[in-house]
Amino acid sequence: MKKVLFILLLGLTQVGYSQKQYNVIQIIVDDLGWKDLSSYGSDYYETPALDKFAEKSIVYTNSYASCNVCSPTRASIVTGKYPAKLNLTDWIEGWKMPYAKYSIPEWTMYLETSQPTVGKLFKENGYKTAHFGKWHLGENEGYWPENHGFDKNHGGWSKGAPHKNKKKGYNGYFMPYGNPRLKDGPQDEYLTERLAKDVCLYIEENKNEKFFVNLWFYNVHTPLQARAEKVDKYKNKEKGKYHSNPTYAAMIEHVDEAIGQVLNKVEALGLMENTIILFSSDNGGLIGKPKRKVTNNSPLKGGKGTIYEGGIRVPTMIYAPNLTPNKVDYAVSSIDYLPTLAQLAHLKIEKDVQEQWDGISIVEFNQTEHYYSRPLYWHYPHYHSQGAVPHTVVIQEDWKLIHNIENGNYELYNLRDDIGEQNNLVKSEKAKFSELKKKMKVWKKEVGAQMPTKNPNYKPTSK
């Protein structure tokens, strides 16, 4: 493994010899699971554009979202910080469970405009900046993309999913959208196709400028909606071993086609040698309910809204000129995206801003051992309808420790031997348990992690 990485990281040193600033396109798909691309193992979903992109990119097989739900991860992507440090630890506004065993803390339901964000930092370096698609980092419009360093905002507002409201005539992924930051288009327009069209136009208009594009799709978040012909295609296709939802498959195909259009535009304009592209997801795939299944993250346990691997492990790829395509399996996190893009694009950033980051550049050639040894943390003092209870987690090398705050129990897994998290090793690996437990305690104090408190209105039969 280390020999392969050595070859890869030698390729990265070539970037450091030039101070040229590159265009950047950061693509985040909503709720896309670790196995939801054919290049990551799906035998039902079809993603030819992303499979082709993977051949040109560094593919991270052990990549994590910093939370099991969307808003905290998105906050970490734009700041390089752990959600716990921001006190933005749940999707905005979160589930209301007044009779749960614990009361959740008074957390921050918006991203503070004082934060040095990816939009601000690229703008300060002379970039044109634009956001397309989902935002979900503040109910009030004072916290939307235009208040965080983006010159343009196409579709980013308070909602975390397409606005579907029969009474008002809003139709989710199909026009009319009911989105105050996105004008309605032609009849039967599909949101994902519209975002791709807008991005391609923006790139065309700014091809002679330095640009940063934040393309955050609403797909594949519920409501599950796609064009009928695509749904029919998957209804007539043989089901996969784990994947079988034709509408969800069609939504993934919509995303793949949209990304393919953007990549083709970049290529047609001769910008591939001048552009960095990052692709990822904000949390694991949504399993859904028994009678309304969405996706399946097997062999991973759980899904969105749980702290198991299916809830936090995501597909991630990075393309940049002079980077050597490869697959690497050291653990990376969404807290790393900002430091990585800043390093690859050669941004000039004040030292005190960089020192606030919890993430690191995952293409720094001289930090190979650090990638394997550094711990990663999660803290979720909330409840989720998909099963999560308040918890804290640390992952270091092959080991994962989960602290269930509600019942006080711990779970310890060796992810290399047990990726499905079936064998709790707390009793047999006492030294490792003690080591990670101590790290967890120290980290929570360092970031000022908010804790839930016992609920005086607790009713054991409900949350």
360 and 440 inside one domain = no
pLDDT band for position 140 (cuts 50, 70, 90): very high
- Judgement on whether residues 126 and 248 belong to the same structural domain of the protein: yes
The pLDDT of residue 422 is above 80 = yes
**Distance from CA of residue 338 to its chain's centroid?**
12
List the CATH number of the domain containing 324: 3.40.720.10
**What pLDDT is recorded for position 322?**
86
**Is the same domain home to 418 and 363?**
no
Going by C-alpha positions, the residue among 278, 225, 223, 280 that lies closest to residue 253 is 225
The last residue of one of the domains, among 319, 338, 367, is: 367
195-226 tens-digit pLDDT: 999 999 999 999 999 999 999 999 999 999 99
User: Are both 39 and 67 inside the same structural domain?
Assistant: yes
Matching residue, tokens 């899904």: 303
Residue 89 pLDDT > 80:
yes
166 and 79 in a common domain: yes
Domain for residue 463, yes or no?
no
Question: At which of 318, 341, 367 does a domain end?
Answer: 367
> Are residues 110 and 189 part of one domain?
yes
Residue 343 is classified by DSSP as: H
246 close to 235: Cβ distance less than 8 angstroms: yes
Contacts of 96 (CB under 8 A, 6+ apart): none
Confidence of residue 372 (pLDDT cuts 50, 70, 90): confident
Cβ partners under 8 Å of residue 201, min gap 6: none
Residue 1 pLDDT exceeds 70: no
Task: Kindly report the CATH number assigned to the domain that includes residue 392.
Answer: 3.30.1120.10
In the structure, what pLDDT confidence band is assigned to residue 462 with cuts at 50, 70 and 90? low
The answer to whether residue 435 scores a pLDDT higher than 60 is yes
Residue identified by tokens 């051949």 is 55
Whether the per-residue pLDDT at 17 is higher than 50: the answer is no
On the question of pLDDT at 11 being above 50, the answer is: no
Helix (H) or strand (E) holding 52: helix 48-54
pLDDT of residue 291: 80
* Spatial distance between the Cα atoms of 237 and 170, rounded to a whole number of angstroms: 31
**pLDDT, tens digit, for every residue of 293-311?**
999 999 999 999 999 999 9
Confidence class for position 5, pLDDT limits 50, 70, 90: very low
- The pTM for the full model equals 0.94
Q: Is the pLDDT of residue 18 over 50?
A: no
What is the mean predicted confidence (pLDDT) over 380-394? 96
CA–CA gap between residue 79 and residue 367 (Å, rounded): 21
pLDDT of residue 135: 98
Mean pLDDT taken over the chain: 93
| 462 within some domain | no
Query: What confidence score (pLDDT) does residue 371 get?
Result: 77
Report pLDDT for 9: 35
Residue 409 lies in a domain: yes
Q: Is the peptide bond before 139 cis (omega within 30 degrees of 0)?
A: no
pLDDT beyond 80 at 366:
no
297 and 428: one domain?
no
In this structure, the answer to whether residues 234 and 267 fall within a common structural domain is yes
Per-residue pLDDT of 151-199, as tens digits, reads 999 999 999 999 888 888 888 999 999 999 999 999 999 999 999 999 9
pLDDT greater than 50 at residue 6: no
**Cis omega (within 30 of 0) for bond into 220:** yes
For residue 131, give its domain range. Answer: 2-367
Q: What is the mean pLDDT of residues 387-404?
A: 97
Query: Tens of pLDDT along 107-137?
Result: 999 999 999 999 999 999 999 999 999 999 9
31 in Cβ contact with 221 (< 8 Å): yes
The total number of structural domains in the chain stands at 2
Residues 6+ apart with CB under 8 A from 461: none
Q: Do both 9 and 139 map to the same domain?
A: yes
Residue 66 lies in a domain: yes
Please name which of 45, 12, 17 lies closest in space to residue 238, comparing C-alpha atoms: 45
Instruction: Look at residue 328 and tell me if it is in a domain.
Output: yes
**Boundary residue ending a domain (367, 397, 430):** 367
Q: Is residue 413 part of a domain?
A: yes
CB 220 within 8 A of CB 248: yes
pLDDT at 113: 97
- Is there a single domain that holds both residue 93 and residue 241? yes
**Domain match, 363 and 386 both:** no
Distance (Å, rounded) from C-alpha 454 to C-alpha 95?
17
- Would you say residue 361 has pLDDT above 60? yes
* Residues 139, 112 share a domain: yes
